[in-house]
Amino acid sequence: MGKVSFDISGKVAVVTGGAGILCSAMSIKLAEFGAKVAVLDLFKDKAQEVADGIVANGGDAIAVECNVLNKESIEKACKEVMDKYGRVDILINGAGGNKKEATTSEDMKFFDIPKDALSWVLELNFLGTVMPTQVFGKVMADQGDGCVVNISSMAAFTPLTKTISYSAAKAAISNFTQWMAVHFAKEYSNKIRVNAIAPGFLLTQQNYYLLIDKDTGEATPRGEDVLFKTPMNRYGEPDELVGGVIYLASEAASFVTGIVLPIDGGFLAFAGV
């Protein structure tokens, strides 16, 4: 039997939403493990900060502006990556998020949520995963190998209260992960794998206002519920997602495709009693 390898050194990793809280941590850690990282983000200046930090630490990274909902923008970003590195080994579809206007609250009843807010969340998360996979996945199909890691959520397994559109979009991403895994393996190459991670609760820009009271800095009732439902009784840290990503992107997971890996402090396993 061959040696199990988690080595990703020299691999080219493309990270969408790469300047965000979670994906900047992924970008930095992937570089520390030897990957060449293309940090893609709608905001080039923020992506540049992440890439500059990686390079200053001895890593190899570039910042690339990319709107994941605009195919022309994605294709332009792909050309930049290919001109620099010549291939794409890993695609992490990290762009996504929620917005207050698509979330039920005392001020926003379900009946009043505007269509444009629902569409914004659905498109950013679902189409913002599908469209980069169309472009960078074509590179992988031409190469005959590659690995895609999508970002699902606990909300994909059981929809969370309040976050109607976000829960639906993440469920769609889990479904797409399975569909794409089968499609690539059957139509192009069994060396192209598609998986997802499903983070538990981490404090991000998108959920902070739901979990932390902005006036007191204490946990909201929802935040208290989340901590109770998480057996480890804490929020996750962005770096704690990286191990799962490296596993899925490495040869250690060479026979793994079409899965959604929970990284959740036990949230999914706990019934609440």
Residue 13 one-letter amino acid:
A
If pLDDT is split at 50, 70 and 90, which confidence band does 1 have? Answer: low
Report pLDDT digits (tens) over 82-110. 999 999 999 999 999 999 999 999 999 99
| Active site residue ranges | 166
- Is pLDDT above 90 for 210? no
End-to-end CA distance of the chain: 44
Report pLDDT digits (tens) over 29-86. 999 999 999 999 999 999 999 999 999 999 999 999 999 999 999 999 999 999 999 9
| Cα 120–Cα 124–Cα 210 angle in degrees, nearest 5 | 70
Structure tokens given for 161: 């209260």
Point out which residues pair with 193 in neighbouring strands: 147
Rounded to whole angstroms, the Cα distance separating 259 from 120 reads: 26
* Residue-level pLDDT at 193: 98
Among residues 71, 260, 83, 107, the alpha carbon closest in space to that of 171 is found at: 260
If pLDDT is split at 50, 70 and 90, which confidence band does 194 have? Answer: very high
pTM of the complete model: 0.94
Rounded to whole angstroms, the Cα distance separating 207 from 252 reads: 33
Rounded to whole angstroms, the Cα distance separating 182 from 234 reads: 36
User: Residue 192: is it exposed, middle or buried by C-beta count within 10 angstroms (0-12/13-18/19+)?
Assistant: buried
Domains (ranges, CATH) in the chain? 12-200+237-263 (3.40.50.720), 205-235 (no CATH)
